[in-house]
Structure 1
Amino acid sequence: MKHIAGGLQWAVFLIASSIAAPIAIAHVFGMDSVETALFIQRTMFVLGVACLVQAFVGHRMPINEGPAGLWWGIFVVYAGMVGIMYPSSGAALQALQSGMIASGILFILLAVTGLISKMKVLFTPAVTFTYLMLLILQLSGTFLKGMVGVEGPSDPIDGLLFLGSLVVVLITFITMNHKTPWVTRYSVLLSIGIGWVLFLLIGKAEFVQPKLDRWIQLPELLVYGKPVWDSGMFITAGFITLLLIANMMASIRVMESLMKQSFSITPPDRMKQGSIASGINHLFAGLFSAIGPVPISGAAGFVGATRMASLKPFIVGSVIVIIITIFPSIMSVFAALPAPVAYAVTFAIFTKMVEMAFRELSAEPKQERAYKVAAFGLMIGVGIMFIPQESMSDLPNAVAAVLSNGLITGTVIAILIEQFLLWKERRKAE
């Protein structure tokens, strides 16, 4: 029973933290309500399967998979090419699903050749700190906008919505730090449940009637057609794969650090297996015409808040997500979770990530070098976040997708700066 309750909590967290991406992508491609529902179904199904693949053959840690932000950006870029480089949305989506299959193959090749293991040394405490802070800074704006009901530049702040969100944040903090162990363990589930009821009472959520037109609907394969050769897409996929590997390594590194510091657990080095599993997951994403998944760093905040480091509830939660996607009626209920509730709970969880980031930085023996690395990475990464994406429309697709992502660019800059400083130190010592 304990694992089922924990699994349900993982399932709610996975769905709440991932459902925005397929909805947003469906919107930019002009999908109708049926196409959108099926796209959400396929994406959630792939995420549930991806979690199981990582749990059994990959890194074997409780790190949920979510839609990769880099792929999200590429989807948006390619939506803008419909009518220019691609005759229809279907043709653009066909190229994207082909690119994810290519990315999956490259993930596996890099792992098998041993390049993944060599890249792990790049993620020092200074780089991990920079990555975590950029992740938090990038998402904090999204969280707060969602909590006040602002979607567009001209939207006014909804005072009642904001008040309800603040109450949910407060409830989450109370349950996360409660003296009763079971309250702490299920803090996310309790906070989302109480928050959902609260938003129903204040009229900011709707009572959902399950749709009973079809009881069961399995996700379809290759919805947009067979894989095609698209040289531009494959070049983009290759570049994105290298950056996704960096993202994956950072997420694994963060969870390893949490396990050691908070649970006195030293996980085995399974970076190579994690990369192979990511390759398999990208193959699934391409075959099921979904969004490419990546291990989510926010899982460390979730585990730190709930004190659930065991893999069993995580596996149960992944199975629950897969089962839910097969039943459209149940999926429609979960999809109706008020977005401000999800944002408020996630906001509270991410405060744990800030604590973890500073603990990482304090673990670096060469503090002066670490400050320089973090300064360059943070200033460039945060600076990019303020540059409008429209300003990069004339750049090549792969370059635009990367430069519009301050998280990845800032992390890569931090790695390059640190390697340069280490090289200088080695030369000085000779």
Structure 2
Amino acid sequence: MTMVSSVQWVFFIFANTVVIPISIANVFELSSETMAMMIRASLILTGITCILQGWKGHRFPIMEGHSGLLWGIILNLGLSAQALNIGLERIGGGIVTGIVLASLVTILLIACGGFSLLQAIFSPMVMTVYLFLLTFQLMFIFFEGMLKMTSTGVIDIGISLYSVVLALIVATLKMKGNQLISNFSILIGLLGGWLGYVLLFGNDGAGMTTSAPFQLFPLGAPNLEMGIVVVTFVAVLLNLSNTFASINAAEKLLQRRAAKKEFKGSMLITSISTIIGSGFGLVPYTPFTSTIGFLQSTRIYERKPFFIGGALLTIIGIVPILGSFLSMLPVTVGNAVLFVAYMQLFGTAFSSLNGKTFNSNTIFRLAAPVLIGISIMNISPAIFSELPVLIQPFLANGLIMGVIISIILEKGVNWLKYEDQPIKRGKAS
């Protein structure tokens, strides 16, 4: 069973990883050979980082992968090249500089006792807001990814219906199957869904691609394009919220308290991996809070399958043909299965409230950042086009804005004043 669990980890991590370097390479107009090199670098480094985190970092079976928050920021900056009147290589180089500087500052904070400051900023309520917003953001992404669009921009009914049915089957296996089937419902869904897709529709996934030799700075050499550097720097520091949210959620699920040194070790490994990855054009790393949904779906909490899965992923990156084969997994199948797996994350967000109740005043503490964040997620970024281009990536990102609003509310309002006070009863006359 350990090996089967390890393979399930491989598919889970792979499905969450491979699309990110592909999209970055496309936006920065890189060759298919360079894209393949970035995918290989991503798989190798992701596998190694997962092992290091489980062994010497936070010591939980939590996937370490490319940050969705930074992924969105980097894509947005690349797509804004024309509006900024800056070449893609200058933008890419500025991104690398911002990533490295922020990672070095994080390492410095850890070394100089700044952990308490970070803990104070990312308070439990801020982390609850983050979990709710992350859940909604992932659901939007995976639901949209389940639906196949034709070249004319309309829905492909056959493939989309297949994805919906696959999601229902995986959910049924998770809820109604015996423990063994329930634990491996994700792997069954990915492999069975892939096979069914090929039989019904053929394989329209990516074919075998030749990889270029490993090369440094495919996005552009580091530079001091200050606007780009500042935007990326701030985003990387905000990304630290992922570490606190992931470890806090894992603590509750696995019923083990993480020591301060494990928080520090996790941030140190993330920062070092991020610096190395930036040299190969990779999006910064972070512990995936969404892994909690995967763990709740599989109910396999041991670290051994996680370690083996990380090692297998590294091997897949080293051997190009293996990565090329797995990249043929249909995107709609992966999204359908992950949609079900990440539904569990809503429960994690809800339980993070720890039974806390709100009154008509204190509800703003949660409702304002969550609902504003969701609202921003559901409007077109184009409405911010008249604002300065370099602040658009922040204002158009519902997750970032929700977290920022929550931090401001937690630090700027004394919520104890608005809590319901016990009724004082006078003596009977």
Bin for the TM-score computed over the shorter chain: 0.7 to 0.9
**What is the match of residue 317 of structure 1?**
309
Aligned CA distance change for structure 1 residues 398 and 314 (closer, same or farther; 3 Å)? farther
Q: 2: distance between equivalents of 1:360 and 1:424?
A: 19
Q: Is the 8 A contact 1:116 1:275 kept in 2?
A: no
User: What are the within-5 Å matches in structure 2 for residues 3-402 of structure 1?
Assistant: 3-80=2-79, 82=81, 88-121=87-120, 123=122, 126-150=125-149, 155-203=153-201, 205-206=203-204, 219-223=214-218, 227-260=222-255, 265-269=256-260, 270-364=262-356, 371-396=363-388, 399-402=391-394
1:307, distance to aligned residue in structure 2 (A): 0.8
Q: 2: distance between equivalents of 1:16 and 1:364?
A: 35
Identity of aligned residues (%): 27
Q: 2: distance between equivalents of 1:157 and 1:233?
A: 36
1:230, distance to aligned residue in structure 2 (A): 3.7
SS in 2 for 1:205: coil
User: What runs of 5+ residues in structure 1 fail to find an aligned partner?
Assistant: none
SS in 1 for 2:343: helix
Q: 2: distance between equivalents of 1:124 and 1:365?
A: 17
User: What runs of 5+ residues in structure 2 fail to find an aligned partner?
Assistant: 422-429
Give a deviation string over 1:137-171, Cα, whole Å, max 9, x none: 2222222222221388x621222112211222122
Q: Is the 8 A contact 2:207 2:328 kept in 1?
A: no
Aligned CA distance change for structure 1 residues 139 and 84 (closer, same or farther; 3 Å)? closer
Q: 1: distance between equivalents of 2:122 and 2:86?
A: 42
SS in 2 for 1:361: coil
1:85, distance to aligned residue in structure 2 (A): 5.9
Q: Is the 8 A contact 2:38 2:280 kept in 1?
A: no
Aligned length: 420
1:178, distance to aligned residue in structure 2 (A): 4.9
Q: 2: distance between equivalents of 1:324 and 1:51?
A: 14
Bigger mean CA deviation after superposition, 288-297 or 91-100: 91-100
Alignment TM-score, normalising by the size of structure 1: 0.87
Q: What amino acid maps onto 2:229 in structure 1?
A: F
Q: Is the 8 A contact 1:49 1:318 kept in 2?
A: yes
Q: What amino acid maps onto 1:183 in structure 2?
A: I
Alignment TM-score, normalising by the size of structure 2: 0.87
Q: Which structure is larger by alpha-carbon Rg, 1 or 2?
A: 2
Bigger mean CA deviation after superposition, 331-340 or 136-145: 136-145
Aligned CA distance change for structure 1 residues 150 and 373 (closer, same or farther; 3 Å)? farther
Bigger mean CA deviation after superposition, 166-175 or 272-281: 166-175
Q: 1: distance between equivalents of 2:168 and 2:381?
A: 34
Q: What amino acid maps onto 1:157 in structure 2?
A: I
Q: What amino acid maps onto 1:400 in structure 2?
A: Q
Q: What amino acid maps onto 1:95 in structure 2?
A: G
Q: What amino acid maps onto 1:249 in structure 2?
A: F
SS in 1 for 2:270: helix
1:344, distance to aligned residue in structure 2 (A): 0.8
Q: 2: distance between equivalents of 1:259 and 1:400?
A: 39
